[in-house]
Amino acid sequence: MTKGPIPDETPSNLQEQLLLEDALAGNARPIQGGARRPLGDVPRLVAIYGGQPEDWFKMTSNEAFVINGASVQVHWFRNNQTGQNVEIKFKRNYPKTAPTN
């Protein structure tokens, strides 16, 4: 069974909003997709949003902001033929802390 669309995540603060706006304005790069590195999610994306498998890319923001102690980047899927951006989410990486003895 094909999983449905994943709703966009809403920025939780002004810094995340600015990071998202900057990424969607073009400060981003593909991390996977196209004909050479197809996405595992491509059958679901095509079924829900349309297009051809080679049109879909997983994108990430070029910038990462440190927000509340976490390094934050934006990830989403983009159809390079239509310019459609879907399933936006924020990846938050918190630094690992050393165990105390």
The secondary structure of 66-93 as a DSSP string is EETTEEEEEEEEEETTT--EEEEEEEEE
pLDDT digits 0-9 by tens, 26-69:
999 999 887 778 799 999 999 999 999 999 999 999 988 888 88
Please state the pTM of the whole predicted model: 0.85
